[in-house]
Every structure is written in structure tokens, then in C-alpha cells.
A and B are shown apart, each in its own frame.
Chain A
């Protein structure tokens, strides 16, 4: 049957068809929907792990136990999983093990645009790179075959444009299940003490030689000769842009981006007058193809950009192909940046921190938007968990004493479970002081409201429709109890929709500058709690701008600067009612 599937849906479909037994991952744009779709198949067991390192370790275990296992994450997640990756690459597998990493060139929803192909080369594990959903569906199955044939974990890399582009896929409605492989203890293969690790390193080198031979002959790598003048080496979405921009150019389409096939590439280079690499946000091919002794040319009209995703227009520009005429972009349009939703439970925490002139070390999630105007409340966002550990570092550098501004670390519930717990432990262990906030909105909101250890919703429950608000008491993680168990004495719980309580908790915490305070703010994300209350009305507005500075998408201004509520967007959360210093915003009858 032909279906229109995104790259992520196609990978899930292919994984099911080739008998994957176990799927593990951590949500991260643009990888998230892969595991959600795989989990819809009752015969495949899938779970969210607290972080990517745990996810990969679970999958290493299930693969060692004989089950075909898929582990999914976004590109920066591979950094977290790099520790097990760099050793399991030598140990190898029993059942197939494939790591899906979804890269984000142009940084649509990430902190950086690192290229995961470097990890494949670093770990010396084979990497396949599909160029559309049809290939994604095929390559995931080929990756499992390669993993088992060569006794190695394999990686599948997709960029956002592959993950989130729907193309036609010929799917199969039956799964071909190889079943579980027997587990026989082989400590020499899996116990990475030096003597074994040295032997496995040599085994991995032998395997690399075999993989290079495989790369020379596999149909995953495809030479398409069209003319002798220009030859282009490319992969993934960039291949599609090259076909669009330079339809007459010969192409070497690498479906396997590590290891490269030296002989086949040299033959291609010899067959054309000029050979180029076309890749985005990285010089991976440029470095590795050059290292094979192949001389690469610079495009006739200048190099391709080093940063950001490629487009057909950028390829055309580098190769001197005329771009179509178009009207100039409009000037002076007001920008439309993303903002916290109407009624978002994070908002009052950030307006309070802003008004306190706190130095805020932030983290990864919706609440990164606390950095946007008019909140402007966040001073750093580096990686998952960094909010809490960086706040400790700022304390060590005596920033509060030197600037007169309190330092406050702010992290969300899912991110706290991901990497914040160890950060907090480090501060407690070393006798650190300061104020740390956990914003518990009962879900992993930014990536589409996933389950996590804090809300207690498993992936199986999530894809079958369980709302985190319906989880029975006792199942969700009790964040306060965990913090106390770690050794934090001052732990308070606050309703994040109650402005007075938010202000009091933050003021009390920063006043006690020699102690470590953890404030856990609770109130559900308005994407999982959809209830609406009465819309307030505004009378005698003094145009002071306080409610405007909430940055609520439901509040605008009229020509005289007075606040106006957009009734279609307002959900009646009362944040503006509490914020107005003159009591001008109120609900009828209150």
C-alpha cells in the first residue's frame, strides 16, 4: 500500500516491519514522533527513558539480550548518550541495535546544529542517511541487517527536512519477525576491562575494513552519471536540493555516510571534470573525502554557507544558476516570535523574576521562552540540566554579592528528571547555597506533551490517550520528596498561578542567601488542561502597561495604549487580573 508518511512515521513503520522488539528514547524535536508511532504497534514494547544515556543503555541491554532494539533521540541527545556509545561500538551487539539521531540544521528547535555524522566516524559505527521517507522506511530495515551482519551498533541519521517531510512510501501490512536471539553470556565481548577492551578495539578495526568493503559495493551508495562536467557528492535532503538546482549534474548519492567507499569515490572523481561536495552546517564530507586523496573543487561562484540548512536556491547561487525573479521581501513588518501560551503556568514565575532583577540560569523546554521579550528573564540556556549546576557556578563566582542581584536556577519537570537531579545533588553535596526552581507543568510540553517520570505517564499510556491529570496519586514522581531525600532542607511547593504566593516564595528564598532553597511550582500546562474560565473585562484602564508586560498573546493595546483582551485567545486564567495594580481587570460578579 502507498502511504504519505513523514520520515519519522516511515522509520517507525519500517522498524515494525523488520521485527523490532524494543524501542527506547527521549523526546526531542525533530525525532519525537518516531517512538510515538512505533509504540502504536501492540507487539513492540516502547518506553521513554529519563534521558538519552539511559535510553541507549536500555537498548544496549535489550540488544545484548537478543532483541532487535531501536533507540531514538535528537542530535544533542547523542552527546548525552555518547558515553555508552563510545564503548558499545567496540563491544558490538547480539540482536540488532540502531540509534536514530535527528539533526536540526538551521536550529529550528535546538541549541546548536551539530552534525551527527561526526559521531559515526568517532565511534566507527556504520551510519545510513535516507533522502526521503521511502528510503527512511527501507534504510531502518537495512540498518538492522547491517548491525547484525557486522556485529555493531548502527546509526540512522535524518535531518529535520527528512523527519518532518511527508513523502509516498510503499508499506507492507505484515511484519517479518526474526524473533529473539538466544542470549549466551560472553564477558570477553561485553565486559570492557582493559584486556577485553583492547581485543574488542582490534575486532572493531577488522570490522571497519569489512564495512569499507561493504560500502564499496552496496546499493545504498548510488552513482548517477548524467554528464562529465560536474560531479557532486551528497546525501540526505541535500541530494534532493542538488537534483532540484542542478538537474544535469552527475551525483554520488551516499546512503551510507560512514564508512565512505574510497575506491568508488575515486572512480567517480576521475569520471568528471570537477568534483564537489554539497552538505549543510558541517564540513564532514569535505574533510573525509579530501582525506581519501580526492581533490575537491570550490563551486564556481563561491563556497556554500558553512552554517544553516541548504536550499536549492543556495546551491544554484554557488553554481551560478539564475534564480527566478520575485518581489522583494516586505519591510518593517512586526515580528511574530513564539511566546508562552495564554494561561501558561510559567509566566508569573518569569515576570516575578524579571521584576526582582534576578540573574536566571535557564534550561531546555517551553520555559526557554522566558528569555523572549517582554519577559527577558533568562540569562543562560546551554543544555539539559545546566540551569541548576550553572546557578551553583554563579554562586561560586560570587555573582549575587558582586552584582546585588540574586541568582536563580529554573528548570522544568521533565528536564529535572533528565539531568537536573544530578546537578542538584552536586550543589547539596558541596554545601552550595541559592535558589532553584522546578517548574512542574505535568508534561514535556515543548515536544508535544509527552509522558515523563514526573507525571508518571508511560509512553504506552500516552499514545493510548492518557492525560497526565488522570494519573492516580502515588504514580507520579514526588519532586519535593526527592529533593528532601537528596538533602535539601528548604523545599516549598507553590501554585504557580497564584501571583502573591509566587512572589512570596521567591522573595523568601533569595533573602536566605546562605541556604539552598528549592521551590517547586505546580500548575498544569494549558495544553493538557484545556478548561476555560470566564474572560475578564477591563474598566478604566490607566494604560500603565503592567498587563501588557505579561507577554500574554491574548492581551493587546488600543490606539491610546489601553489594554484590550482578545476573547478568542483568552482562557480566563486570571494572571492579568492579579497583575493589574489598580484592580481595573476583573471578572463580572467578582
Chain B
């Protein structure tokens, strides 16, 4: 493989429309840019935002070509919801990819109307275990930090422990990106996410 793709790192953020994946992707991409990397961030808007599965891809390196994450190409997957982690499992780099999962399950409308069934909780546990997933109770941590809406920033904190950016760069980007009144709570959420990932 040529150099230009060898040193590209790919992060896939998945979740359910409305969970805050877009802000998380934005913080990651801006942190990569502020750290001197070339970066591409690809989002899908429109129809999928109305409660469907959503994904954001961030790729960074000395030079990034494609904005798409193929199967087996994600260095890190951050899932904002447990089922979505399984839905995205094929994108992880086999054996070496890291998976962070928010400990939360959102039941799709399809289940209530009989077009699908929820897998057993134990089965989901086992599958996540097999993927070496790091489980983060991000919603709970965010609530404890006094900011239930900062679940996405808790997950960014967890993600930050496996990426090569300085902590102060992350903090600067978060402070600029969130509403001024929530800066302190979001930085606390970021710290708590880092601590949770290191446990």
C-alpha cells in the first residue's frame, strides 16, 4: 500500500438520529486539524436523520484521500447505542480496531410494530464482549457531571484516550464548539469520559 493510505486513521461514529454524533464528529475533526493533520469528515443528512441509523466518518493523516470507511477499515468505532455497535461491527479493523460503546439501548420502532425482534440482552453482551468493546455508561456519567446532554462529549473523552492528540487541544476545541454556558459541564464530561475509558 502506498504511504498516503498507510498512515490514515479512520474513526467511525454511529448512533441514532438526534444523539449528537454530528457535534462529536465535528469536535474530532477540528481537533485533528488543530493538531496539524489533514482531515476529512463525512456526514449523511436528510431522510436518515428522522430517527434512523446515522453515521459520521472522520479520517485523518498526513494526506487523506477517500472520505468513506469501508468494511474492515475503522481504527476506532464509537457507538452511541448498543445495537448500532453491532450493526457497524464489520467496519472495525479485525483484531486491532477499538470499539467504544455507550451503555444504552434504544428500541427501534420496527420492534414495537412487529417488523423485528430485539436480540436478548445477554446475546448483545456476548457479541460486544467478542468484539472487545469498551463499555462506557456515558448517559449516567453525563448526568452525574450535571449535564445530561453531554453524553456525546463523554464518549469523545473515551475516544481521546486512543488518539494521538494533546488533551489541551481537545479541550480548546470543545470550549469553542459548545454553547458558552455549558463549557464547564462539557469539559467535566470530557474528563469523566477519559477516566471511564482508562478503568
Stretch with Cβ within 8 A of B (4 or more), from A64-72, A116-124, A429-437, A553-561: A553-561
Q: Is the CB of B72 closer than 8 A to any CB of chain A?
A: yes
Are A557's CB and B90's CB within 8 A? Answer: no
A243-B4, A334-B117, A551-B109 known; A340 vs B50 contact (CB < 8 Å):
yes
Are A4's CB and B48's CB within 8 A? Answer: no
Other-chain residue from B2, B30, B51, B113 in contact with A336 (beta carbon distance below 8 A): B51
Cα(A326)–Cα(B26), bound, Å? 27
Per-residue contact bits, chain B 81-115, to A (CB 8 Å; 1 contact, 0 not): 00110110111111000000000000111111101
Q: Is the CB of A325 closer than 8 A to any CB of chain B?
A: yes
Closest to A104 in B: B46
Are A336's CB and B16's CB within 8 A? Answer: yes
**Within A309-352, which residues are at the interface with B (CB < 8 Å)?**
311-313, 323-330, 332-341
Q: Which residues from chain A sit less than 8 Å from chain B, CB to CB?
A: 2, 4, 29-30, 108-109, 132, 160-161, 164-168, 237, 240-241, 243-245, 247-248, 311-313, 323-330, 332-341, 366, 369, 373-374, 446-448, 548-549, 551-553, 555-557
Other-chain residue from B29, B49, B86, B107 in contact with A166 (beta carbon distance below 8 A): B29
- Give every chain A residue within 8 A of B115 (Cβ-Cβ): 334-335, 373
- Give every chain A residue within 8 A of B68 (Cβ-Cβ): 161, 241, 311-312
Q: How far is the CB of B62 from chain A (nearest CB, A)?
A: 12
25 A-B Cβ contacts within 8 A?
A: A108-B44, A109-B47, A167-B67, A241-B66, A245-B66, A312-B68, A323-B70, A323-B71, A324-B71, A326-B72, A326-B90, A330-B127, A332-B119, A333-B83, A333-B87, A333-B119, A334-B110, A334-B116, A336-B52, A336-B109, A337-B52, A337-B108, A338-B17, A549-B113, A551-B113
- Give every chain A residue within 8 A of B140 (Cβ-Cβ): none
Are B40's CB and A165's CB within 8 A? Answer: yes
Q: Which residues from chain B sit less than 8 Å from chain A, CB to CB?
A: 1-2, 4-5, 16-17, 26, 29-30, 33, 38-53, 64-68, 70-73, 83-84, 86-87, 89-94, 107-113, 115-119, 127, 131
Are A338's CB and B71's CB within 8 A? Answer: no
Closest to B117 in A: A334
Are B67's CB and A30's CB within 8 A? Answer: no
Q: A336-B109, A341-B50 are in contact. List 14 more A-B contacts (CB 8 A).
A: A29-B45, A108-B44, A160-B44, A165-B67, A237-B67, A244-B65, A312-B70, A313-B71, A335-B108, A337-B109, A339-B51, A446-B47, A556-B111, A557-B112
- Give every chain A residue within 8 A of B51 (Cβ-Cβ): 336, 338-339, 341, 553
- Give every chain A residue within 8 A of B116 (Cβ-Cβ): 333-335
Are A328's CB and B90's CB within 8 A? Answer: yes
- Give every chain A residue within 8 A of B47 (Cβ-Cβ): 29, 108-109, 338, 446
Are A30's CB and B118's CB within 8 A? Answer: no
Are B40's CB and A166's CB within 8 A? Answer: yes
- Give every chain B residue within 8 A of A167 (Cβ-Cβ): 38-41, 64, 67
- Give every chain A residue within 8 A of B94 (Cβ-Cβ): 324-327
Cα(A333)–Cα(B68), bound, Å? 23
Are A324's CB and B72's CB within 8 A? Answer: yes
Closest to A557 in B: B112
- Give every chain A residue within 8 A of B111 (Cβ-Cβ): 334, 556-557
A333-B87, A336-B16 known; A326 vs B45 contact (CB < 8 Å):
no
Please provide the 5 A-B residue pairs with the shortest distance between their CB atoms, ordered closest to farther: A334-B116, A109-B46, A326-B72, A247-B2, A324-B72
Are B67's CB and A330's CB within 8 A? Answer: no
Cα(A244)–Cα(B2), bound, Å? 9
Are A240's CB and B45's CB within 8 A? Answer: no
Are B40's CB and A336's CB within 8 A? Answer: no
Are B108's CB and A324's CB within 8 A? Answer: no
A108-B47, A333-B83 known; A326 vs B92 contact (CB < 8 Å):
yes
Closest to B127 in A: A330
Are A336's CB and B45's CB within 8 A? Answer: no
Q: For B45, B119, B131, which residue has the most chain A Cβ atoms within 10 angstroms?
A: B45
Cα(A373)–Cα(B113), bound, Å? 8
Q: How far is the CB of A140 from chain B (nearest CB, A)?
A: 19
Q: How far is the CB of B33 from chain A (nearest CB, A)?
A: 5
Q: How far is the CB of B99 from chain A (nearest CB, A)?
A: 11
Other-chain residue from B4, B73, B110 in contact with A335 (beta carbon distance below 8 A): B110
Cα(A65)–Cα(B5), bound, Å? 49
Q: For A328, A333, A555, which residue has the most chain B Cβ atoms within 10 angstroms?
A: A333
- Give every chain B residue within 8 A of A2 (Cβ-Cβ): 33
Cα(A497)–Cα(B68), bound, Å? 42
Q: How far is the CB of B165 from chain A (nearest CB, A)?
A: 15
Cα(A244)–Cα(B63), bound, Å? 11
Q: How far is the CB of A229 from chain B (nearest CB, A)?
A: 15
Cα(A553)–Cα(B19), bound, Å? 14
- Give every chain B residue within 8 A of A555 (Cβ-Cβ): 112
Closest to B73 in A: A324
Are A164's CB and B43's CB within 8 A? Answer: yes
Q: How far is the CB of A585 from chain B (nearest CB, A)?
A: 15
Are B39's CB and A313's CB within 8 A? Answer: no
Q: How far is the CB of B11 from chain A (nearest CB, A)?
A: 14
Are B42's CB and A165's CB within 8 A? Answer: yes
Are B45's CB and A109's CB within 8 A? Answer: yes
- Give every chain B residue within 8 A of A334 (Cβ-Cβ): 83, 107-108, 110-111, 115-118
Are A326's CB and B41's CB within 8 A? Answer: no
Cα(A551)–Cα(B4), bound, Å? 47
Cα(A339)–Cα(B43), bound, Å? 19
Closest to B16 in A: A336
- Give every chain A residue within 8 A of B49 (Cβ-Cβ): 338
A165-B67, A243-B65, A247-B5 known; A336 vs B108 contact (CB < 8 Å):
yes
Closest to A335 in B: B110
Are A166's CB and B41's CB within 8 A? Answer: yes
Cα(A279)–Cα(B55), bound, Å? 24
Q: For B4, B5, B30, B66, which residue has the most chain A Cβ atoms within 10 angstroms?
A: B66
Cα(A338)–Cα(B68), bound, Å? 22
Cα(A188)–Cα(B4), bound, Å? 54
Q: How far is the CB of B9 from chain A (nearest CB, A)?
A: 14
A164-B45, A241-B68, A325-B94 known; A336 vs B110 contact (CB < 8 Å):
yes
Q: How far is the CB of A277 from chain B (nearest CB, A)?
A: 18
Q: How far is the CB of A232 from chain B (nearest CB, A)?
A: 13
Q: How far is the CB of A474 from chain B (nearest CB, A)?
A: 32
Closest to A160 in B: B44
Closest to A246 in B: B2
Closest to B113 in A: A374
Are B107's CB and A556's CB within 8 A? Answer: yes
Q: How far is the CB of A220 from chain B (nearest CB, A)?
A: 19
Cα(A325)–Cα(B97), bound, Å? 11
- Give every chain B residue within 8 A of A373 (Cβ-Cβ): 110, 113, 115
- Give every chain B residue within 8 A of A552 (Cβ-Cβ): 109
Q: How far is the CB of B132 from chain A (nearest CB, A)?
A: 11
Closest to B139 in A: A568
Other-chain residue from B38, B43, B53 in contact with A168 (beta carbon distance below 8 A): B38
Cα(A240)–Cα(B69), bound, Å? 12
Are A168's CB and B90's CB within 8 A? Answer: no
